[in-house]
Chains A and B, each alone.
Chain A
Amino acid sequence: MSVQLHPDADLLVEYSSGSLSPAMCVSVSAHLHFCDSCRDENLRLTEIGGSLLSQVAPEILSASALDNVFAKIDTEAADDVLKPRTVSKQTTTGTELSALPEMIQNLIPTDEPNWRFLSPSLRAAAIPVGEDSCELALHKIKAGGSTPTHDHKGREVVVVLKGSFSDEDGIYSEGDFIVHHPGEVHRPQASQNEECICLSVLEAPLRLTGTFHRFLNPLFSFNPQ
């Protein structure tokens, strides 16, 4: 039951200090949803920020700062009556989404993920978070189905949200945070009895391919064949 694979110290520090890209941030949040120990560590890491804040040399604000803030609070209070802040999605139980952590549900603008066909056993639905350096998506593998063999041009992070899958290296279940490095080849397969839904972040998915582009891309000259 307990989660086996966790984000490393660097990711947790960058998460608590606020330097992760939105997609990576969402993937760590998804892991924390399932993992008590990382959640506790995150709280402790966040205290570093709180402690630094409490110790820092204060800087005087303009004389009108507090009045400004009260004025904004009052106008906002008036606005809020007219337009309440986004209400979290009321997902009816039993839908595909309702099985996922609430924060993930809230990131999906439609009632159901907009699944795109990738192979007979595999569907993907992009989650738009305003990213340009990586791609955040949900992947769904049919019970017993497997994905085509593939490798990665960039780092890939996968967090299991529902069900489980396995590959050459092991079996992964809910909450597991799996990092694949560029060039690793694998072929995930969902367990026989249940479909598997994962969150995935693929960094720098756009890499020039083809012989001509290869020639232009200096990174390829370091690529051992």
Chain B
Amino acid sequence: MITSIIKPVNKVVPLVKPSPDEWSSLLEKVGVDKDRQAFSSLFEHFAPLLKGFLMKGSNIGPELAEELAQETMIKVWRRAASFQRAKSTASTWIFTIARNSRIDLYRRESRKQVQLDADDFYDQSIENPSLVSLVQVRNKQTVLEHLKSLPREQHEVVAKIYYEGKSHTEVAQELSLPLGTVKSRIRLALKRMSVRLAAEEI
């Protein structure tokens, strides 16, 4: 307790992460004012990340990844007004848009009937978190930190699932692992990232 009173004078120890979520502010500007300058900054930051992210998938080449990244950013422009910083971070919100664009791409490629979009299968209103979760979103840094601290083999499985949008079965096949091993690595990783699952608590 005493130590907390004695602050070092010549050394700045930030209590909070210094970077406020500037991407969220830019997204809000796009949403409210259709601010092209703000969108350009978002584009410069996120479009290359999206392209890199999508190219992690073994079946998406650079050209397709670029096309999807652009498609995703167009949706970001169109929907920015629905982004709410209290509920999500810019990168998570943009991830969900990219995820759904990727699902639609896979469906187009397998020539399924495509009158419906992935957006129709995900309920937008469920993105309303409870109060407990709002607190968690504020501590969102933790997911990223936990992710970095995962043992290599757990990180590999989790990353593959999210990067490539593949089912556990497909990931098991590609890594030549038994399905049970993939599932147990995911559970261990979730535990470390303190994702508590209602189904597992019973």
* A pairs with B: yes
Q: Does A169 contact B (CB under 8 A)?
A: no
Q: How large is the interface on A (under 10, 10 to 19, 20 to 34, 35 or more residues)?
A: 35 or more
A141 to chain B, nearest CB (A): 24
Question: In whole Å, how far is A96's beta carbon from the nearest beta carbon of chain B?
Answer: 20
Pick from B53, B74, B126: contact of A53, CB under 8 Å: B53
A36 at the interface (CB under 8 A from B): yes
**B198 to A37, Cβ gap below 8 A?**
yes
Contact B99 A69 (CB under 8 A): no
Distance in angstroms between the alpha carbons of A26 and B88 in the assembled complex: 22
* B26: interface (CB < 8 Å): no
Contact between A129 and B116, CB atoms less than 8 A apart: yes
Question: How many angstroms between the C-alpha atoms of A73 and B43 in the bound complex?
Answer: 13
What are the residues of chain A within 8 A of B114 when measuring CB–CB? Answer: 130
* Interchain CA distance A68-B159 in the complex, whole Å: 30
Tell me if B84 is interfacial: C-beta within 8 Å of chain A. no
B115 vs chain A, min Cβ distance (A): 7
Is B40 among interface residues, defined by CB-CB distance under 8 A?
yes
CB-based contact A51/B143 at 8 Å = yes
Contact across chains for A41 and B196 when beta carbons are under 8 A apart: yes
Once the chains bind, are B73 and A59 in contact (CB under 8 Å)?
no
Give chain B's interface residues, CB within 8 Å of chain A.
Answer: 36, 40, 43-44, 46-53, 55-56, 62, 65-66, 69-70, 73-74, 77-78, 87-89, 91-96, 98-100, 102-103, 107, 112-116, 118, 120-130, 132-133, 136-137, 140, 143-144, 147-148, 158-159, 161-163, 165-168, 170, 183, 186-187, 190, 193, 195-200
* Given A18-B103, A53-B53, 19 more pairs with CB closer than 8 A: A29-B123, A39-B129, A44-B193, A45-B195, A46-B92, A48-B147, A48-B193, A52-B163, A53-B95, A53-B98, A55-B147, A56-B52, A59-B48, A65-B70, A69-B73, A72-B74, A73-B78, A102-B125, A132-B112
